[in-house]
Chains A and B, each alone.
Chain A
Amino acid sequence: MLYAAQETIQIDFAHRQSAHCESGVCSNLLYHYGLSISEALAFGIGSGMFFGYLPFIRINKLPLTTYRCEVGGIFKRVAKRLGCRVHWQTFRNPDKAMDALDRQLSLGIPVACRTGGYWLPYFPPAFRFHFNMHNLVVIGKEGDDYLISDPVFPDPERCSRFDLMKARFAKGALAPKGTMYYMEEAPQEVDLVPAARKGIREVCRRMLSTPGPLMGIRGIRYLSGQVRKWPKKLGQDRALLYVGQLIRMQEELGTGGAGFRFMYGAFLQEAAGVLSIPRLVNLSKVMTGVGDRWRKFAVLGGRLCKGRASADDTYDAMAALLLECADGETEVYQELLELTR
C-alpha cells in the first residue's frame, strides 16, 4: 500500500445525477475540466446509440441484448472528438489496481472505474443484478472508504475498499478487470459541430449498415422473429426467462430501454441548435415516439414475466412492437444521413 488507510482526500467534483452511467460519467468528468457538455450531447457525440441481439454472449446464462454501443465506447469517442487525452488502464492484480487508483486520487485527479454494480453496497437490493458495465467516478477517500460520484444516484455515495475492489474485479461476462480511466488533458474550448456530425453519422452507419442479422435495425427485426417463436421453441418457463432478461437489459428504473431512445431524442434537439439544422427537432420527436414504443414493449414483457398479462399482452404483440421500433428508427437514421451529409 502506498497510502495510509487514514488518509483523507476529497476532490472538489460536482456530482450531477444522470440517466445513464457512462454518458453521465463522461459529462461530469468533462464538466470538471471546464467543458459544459450535457449528458445527451455526450451520448450523441459518443455515438452511444446502438442495438445488438447477441445470443452467443450469455449474461446469467441468458442471451445478451444491448441497446447501446460497446462499453467504454461513448467516453472514448467523445474524448477523441473533443480533443481530450484520456488514460485507460486494466489490471490483473486487484491490490495494484487499488494502489493505482489511490495514486491518482492523491494527485487530485477524479478517476472513473468500470464495475459490477451488483457488488456496490449502496445499490438498493431491488435494483441489484449482475451486470459488469457500471461506470462511476471515485472522487475521494476517507480512511478505508472511497467517495463515489455514481451518476445514477442523487447524492455522492461511500464504498469500502473491499467492496469497491470486488466490484472492480467482478467475475463473469464482460468482466471489468479493474478498468479505470481518467483525463490527462482537456482543451479549454471545443468545436461541437464536427463532433456532433461525426457522432450522428457513425450511429446511422452502424444502425443501417452493420453486416449480419444480429445488429442494428436488422437485429431488431431478427429479435422480433425470435420473440414470436420463443414460447414454442423454448417452452413457457424458459421463454419467460428470456423475456425477463431482454427487458432487464433495457435499462434501469423505468426507462425500459426506451431510455437511450429518449436520450437520443434529447441529443437531436440539442444538435439542431449546434448544427443549425432545425429539421433535427422533428426527428427528435420521432425518436421520442420510438422510445415510447420500446417502453410499451418492455411493459408487455414485464406483465408476461410477472404473471399479470391481459389477453392482448402476448409474444406476438411484443414482436409487432419491435417491428414498429425498427421502422421508426430506420426513418430517423435515413434522414439523419441526408441532413448531415
Chain B
Amino acid sequence: MIARGTAKRETFFAGRKSCFTRICGCPPFLLAQLFSFLNVGALRVSFRSLGVGYPPGGDRRLLQQMDSTGARQGFRGKVAELAVASAVLLIATALAYVALVRQLADRDSVTHTHIVLEKLGAVRSNVAEAESAERGYLLHGDDAYLAPYGQAVRDLRRNISDLRRLTGDNPVQHDTLKLLDRLVAAKLEFLDQRIQARYQQRTGTSVSGAQEGPGRQVREEVNLLLAAIKEEEDRLMVQRSGALQSSASKTKMTMGVLAGLSFIFIFSAGLIVQKEIAARARVEEQFRSLLEFAPDSIVVVNQKDEIVLVNAQTEKVFGYSRRELFRQSADMLMSQHFRQQHPGLRTQLFGDPKARLRSAGLELCCLRKDGTEFPVEISLAPLETAEGRLVSCAIRDITDRKQIQEALRRQAEEVERHRSELALSNVELIAANHELESFSYSVSHDLRAPLRTIDGFSLALLEDCGEKLDAQGRGYLHRVRAATQRMGLLIDDILNLSRVTRSEMRHERVDLSDIAKSILGDLAIAQPGRHAEVRIKERLHAMGDPHLLHIVLENLLGNAWKFTSKMETAHIQFDQAPSSGTTIFFVRDDGAGFDSAHAERLFGAFQRLHDKDEFPGTGIGLATVQRIVHRHGGRIWAKGAVGGGATFYFTLAQTRR
C-alpha cells in the first residue's frame, strides 16, 4: 500500500512537474518577473486613478475625475487586474495545498515504516520471551512459566498478524512474512512439544530426545527473516524520509511564495486604496473649494425650508455665521417685503417640490443680519440626494449692478435732458439764424434804397442847380455823395461777412494757384498803370469751398495789391511755407506793412490800421477771411512791420469734415 501510494504520487508529480516547476520548482527568476509585472500593474492602476498618467495634471485631472465615464473605465480596469491577481493567488494557494497534502502523505508513510520496524522488534522479543519462558519451564517444571509463555505466544501471533496487515501491500515483505509465519509456527510447535514432554515427565513421562534439535536452527532462521524484513523496511525508511524531506522543503517554498505573493498583493492593494482615498479626498476638496469660494452665496435648503449648507460668501454677504444659519428657516434671509408680498412665489421657490425649481435671473430682495436689505439675483436648482430633495440657491448680490443701472439711467436722463436742451437751443439757433437772414435781407433792400436816394438827389441837385451853388456848396454835396457810396460799400461788405458765415459749405479739391492767378490778372487789368512782380507757386491745392476760398484770396491778394500801390515795383508772392503737418499757405507783399503790435486787431471787423484816404477799405475784408479760414478748420496769422511789407499765413484743415 505504501509503495503503491508512493508510485502514484510520483506519477502525479511527474504529470504536473513541468507546471509546478514553472511556477514553484525553479521559481526565483520567473517569479520575480511575475511579481514585477503584478507590482507594476498595481502601480499603474493606482497612477491611473490619480490621473498621473496624463501630465501635466490639474485641470485635466479634475475634468477626468468629474467625468463619470472615465471613472467607470478605470474601475473596469481595476476589476480585471484584481481578477488576475486573485487567480494568481488562487493557483499559488492550490499548489501550496497540494504540496502540503503530499508532505502529510510522506510523513504518514515514514510513521508507517516506524511502526513496522517496532513490530519487527516486538516479534523478535516475543520469540525470545517465548523461548525463555519455555526454557524456564523445562528446567523447573514450574507452571508459573507457562503464563509468560502463553502471553509471549499470544503477543507474537498478534504482532505477526499486525505485520502482515501493515505490509500487506508490499509483495516482497508479504512473501517474507509468510515464510516467517511458517517458521514461527514451526518454532512454536517445537516449543509446545517440549513443554508437553516436560509436563509428561513431571507426571512420569520422559522428556529426553526433545532437547535442542531443530529449535536453535529455527530461531536463527526467524532472526534472519526478521533481519531481512527490517532491512527492507530500513530501505523504505531511507527512501521515505528523503521524500518527506523533499516534499517538506517544497511545501515550505510554496508557502513562502504564497506568503510573498499575498504580501505583495495586499501591500499593492493597500497602496492603491490609499492613493485612491487621497485622490478622492483631493477631488472632494476641490469641489468643496468650488462651493466654498464660489463668487455667489450658495444656500442649500431642504424640503422643510431649513438651511442645510452655506458657503463662505453667504457668511460674508449676509453677516451670519454658519452656525447661526444651520437648520434655520430660509425666511430669515428674505426681506420682510418679499416675505409678505410674494408668499406664493416663495412657496414655489422653497417649499413645493413639485414646482418647477429651475429658474434663473429672479431679482429679489434679501435681508442681512444687521437688518439691511439688498437686491439679489437668485438661481435655483433642485438636488436629488439620499436625504431627499434639496434646493441649491445661488444668490448674487446685485447692489453694484443696480447702482450701475441706476447711474446709467440717470446718465440717460441727463443725456436726454441735454439733448432736449440742445434741440431747444438748436431751435433757438435756427430762429436766430432765420432772424439774421431776415435782418440781412432787410439791410440788403431797405438800407441801400435811402442811400441811393441821397446820392441820386445830391447828383440831381448838382446837375440841376449846380450854378446856383458856390464851390463850397458843391464840395459839400460831393462829400455827401462820397459818404453815401462808402456806406453802400460797408453794407455790401457786412452782408458778405454774414453770408460767409451762413452759406452752405462745399468740400472739394481747389487749385489755389489758379484762383490767385485769375485774381491778380483782374487787378492788373483794373489798374494797368501798376508795375508788379508776381510770384505764384504752381499747383497749390486745398480741400474746401471754392467760392469762399476765392473770397479769401481775393481779400489777401487785394490787400497786397492795395498796400503796394505806393511802390514803384510791387512784389507779391503766393506760396506755401515748409511745414511738417498741415500745409501753411502765405501771401507776402513788400508794401506799407503794419505795426506788428496791432497784428491781433487786423482780423476784427471794422478794424483799420491805415488811413482810409491813404488806402481805401471798410475794415471787414480780413474779418471775412478769418471767418472763412475758421470755417475750414484752419487758422490765420500775420507778420509785418511798418514799411516792411506784410505776410499773411493761413492753414486749411486737411481732412474732409
Co-assembled chains A and B: no
